[in-house]
A and B are shown apart, each in its own frame.
Chain A
Amino acid sequence: MAGIGDLFRQEIRVINLGLEAFALTLEQLGVPVIHVAWSPPAGGDPRKAALLAALADEEEE
């Protein structure tokens, strides 16, 4: 909760993953934004990507 209230008092700074148009709009409005050149992980296979993500989570823990 405190986190959301804090956000209301901060400058919004955005990392954009996906549609480039969103990053371009924010840039035009002068909002700090960085666009990620994202591409589907694991050769675009959602099942493999989920397995990889789960492995990465385990490593973190």
Chain B
Amino acid sequence: MIKRSAYQDSVTLLGLARELRTRNGVLEAAALMGSPANKDLLAQSGLLTTEAAAAGVNDLVIVIRADSAEAAGAALSQAEAFLGARQRRLEGAGRRLPRTLESARRHLPDANLVVISVPGAFAASEARKALSLGLHVMLFSDNVALEDEVALKELARRRGLLLMGPDCGTAILNGVPLGFANAVPRGRVGFVAASGTGLQQVMTLLAARGEGVSQAIGVGGRDMTEQVGGVMTLQALDALGADPTTELIIVVGKPPAPLVRGQVEARLRAMQKPCVMALLGRGVRGRQEGSLATAATLEDASEAAMAMLQGVAWTSRPFSAPPTEIRTHLQAVWKTLAPERRVVRGLYAGGTLAHEAALILEPFLGPVATTLTPESAGRHSVVDLGSDEFTLGRAHPMLDSSLRVQAIHQAAREHDVGVLLLDVVLGHGAAADPAGDVAPAIEAARAEARDRGRGLAVVASVIGTARDPQGREAQVARLGAAGAWVLPSNAQAARAAACIAGGEPVMQSLLGSGGA
């Protein structure tokens, strides 16, 4: 079925396809806009009908393969009903949805923020329109050209507006969660983040200890590069510096360009409030100079912030559980693993979490590959399944776990992979049951390895809070029931993986040699 000029976003279509696939008699279902990339995907799964091949980018393509014509017809009617119900929900009582930013503003005249998640090629011009109208912008879209980012941020700076992004996954303004955000309390910690999942890890760990967020401003992963020059980071720092509810500031991201680092550090040192810098890179050592702390991991950033708020000294620790408990657990895991199975395979939904895991593993295990190629087989690897190469034509792994499930099955078949390292990211916008989506694959992979007499350890962390729609406890329990060892943070999970793979020497360097 082709619906002409019926644009629907990728998340809506993912939900529709998923619902259609669960119908009796439906063997395969696809619901996609008719872009060239999507038509390639249809062709790969043998679903590219002549009609679908002729569809344009603004045409919605629904293809059903069913065991009878009746089943296919019923599925198509259901698709119509799904889309109709969705539109009615958004339109409310008799109100038509506006079709442009300008007309939306007439509906909501005192709007102050535009959230843009349209495809990247169209995002910059919408953002420019919003800024020109005097509106702050959260630009969730990725694939926005660097020169557009530079121009948009310059325009925003001149007008005193926020341009969060591009590729800004998470932000919280005045307690309102935007994009993929966790349900955290309002509080006194302000964030400037060039990393969405990095921000999520730090703020959920703080939330677990009762500390909330004043503002969390995303700036996009490229803001602190030489080309963009940290424009939005510096704007956001000035705003948080002047904000009376913000008592402590945390900057999260990857290492900035040298010139930008100098400017950011100077701003932080001049602040009248304590600051924590968590710009994760090789060779970053945790330290504290006056009211500025530098953290080597996301968890350390939350620990340093807690300590500074309480006015106590801060020290980094490898695990929150007592060393004897970690030792006992490791010894049990080693017993189940064949000695030749000691390769770590990290399969991540969060880009910064993957980056952090690789940084933690490398000093113990040597080089860690970041891609899955035939050459990386047999080597330690940590892969960000949310990076562009994997998300072209499909939804992000925080929403759609199918690619990760495939990768888990694949890893179980490789004879030297002994440790799977995973992140499970909760929050608004994320999948309804992300642990449940991967748990069956974990169980199957462990069973397969066991049948071959080899064993497979699965180590994970859950990034979320008790108040998230998915509920942290239930997600941890689901992973635990599938046989995963769930640690309180990504950093601890990566250290546990390093111990399993590296054996006694790594354990001793992390825990010391004493004890049981």
Contact = CB atoms under 8 A, between A and B. Distances in A.
A16 to B, nearest CB: 5
A61 to B, nearest CB: 10
Contact of B98 (A5, A18, A34): A34
Interface residues of A, number: 45
Contacts of A53: 125, 128-129
Contacts of B312: none
B240 to A, nearest CB: 9
A21 B429 CA distance: 7
B118 A18 contact: yes
Interface in A19-44: 19-26, 29, 31-41, 43-44
Contacts of A37: 97-99
A13 B118 contact: no
B115 A15 contact: yes
A7 B114 contact: no
A40 to B, nearest CB: 6
A10 B136 CA distance: 12
Given A20-B12, A40-B58, A34 B112 contact: no
Contacts of A39: 5, 7, 58, 99
Nearest to B157: A1
Contacts of A12: 112-113, 173-174, 176
A22 B112 contact: no
B35 to A, nearest CB: 7
Most chain B CB within 10 A, of A1, A32, A44, A49, is at A44
Nearest to A47: B121
B58 A10 contact: no
Given A3-B159, A19-B9, A40-B57, A11 B115 contact: no
B179 interface: yes
Contact of B7 (A34, A40, A57): A40
Contacts of A41: 122
A40 B113 CA distance: 21
A15 B174 contact: no
Contacts of B105: 15
Given A35-B97, A38-B7, A25 B113 contact: no
A19 B177 CA distance: 15
A1 B160 contact: yes
Contacts of A36: 97-101, 104
A10 B429 CA distance: 24
Contacts, number: 164
User: Chain B's interface: helix, strand, loop or mixed, by majority?
Assistant: mixed
B116 interface: yes
Contact of B57 (A18, A23, A44): A44
Contacts of A10: 112, 174
Given A12-B176, A15-B111, A40 B160 contact: no
A30 to B, nearest CB: 10
A20 B9 contact: yes
B188 interface: no
A3 B111 CA distance: 14
Nearest to B135: A15
A8 B239 contact: yes
Interface string B125-138: 11011101001100
Interface in B427-463: 428-429
Contacts of B5: 39
B239 A14 contact: no
Contacts of A16: 114-115, 117
Given A1-B235, A29-B177, A49 B113 contact: no
Given A20-B9, A39-B7, A44-B35, A13 B235 contact: no
A49 B238 contact: no
A40 B401 CA distance: 27
Most chain B CB within 10 A, of A21, A38, A45, A49, is at A38
A8 B5 CA distance: 39
B239 A17 contact: no
Interface in B121-175: 121-122, 125-126, 128-130, 132, 135-136, 140-141, 159-162, 173-174
Contacts of B114: 14-17
Interface in B363-419: none
A14 B11 CA distance: 19
A56 B101 CA distance: 14
Interface of B: 5, 7, 9-12, 35, 56-58, 86, 89-90, 97-101, 104-105, 107-108, 110-119, 121-122, 125-126, 128-130, 132, 135-136, 140-141, 159-162, 173-174, 176-179, 215, 235-236, 238-239, 242-243, 245, 428-429
6 contacts: A5-B243, A10-B112, A22-B117, A29-B176, A38-B99, A45-B57
Given A10-B112, A20-B12, A40-B7, 6 more contacts: A2-B160, A3-B160, A13-B108, A34-B111, A36-B97, A37-B98
Interface of A: 1-5, 7-8, 10-26, 29, 31-41, 43-46, 49-50, 53, 57, 60
8 residue pairs, one from A and one from B, having the closest CB atoms:
A18-B117, A44-B57, A3-B160, A46-B121, A39-B7, A53-B125, A4-B239, A37-B97
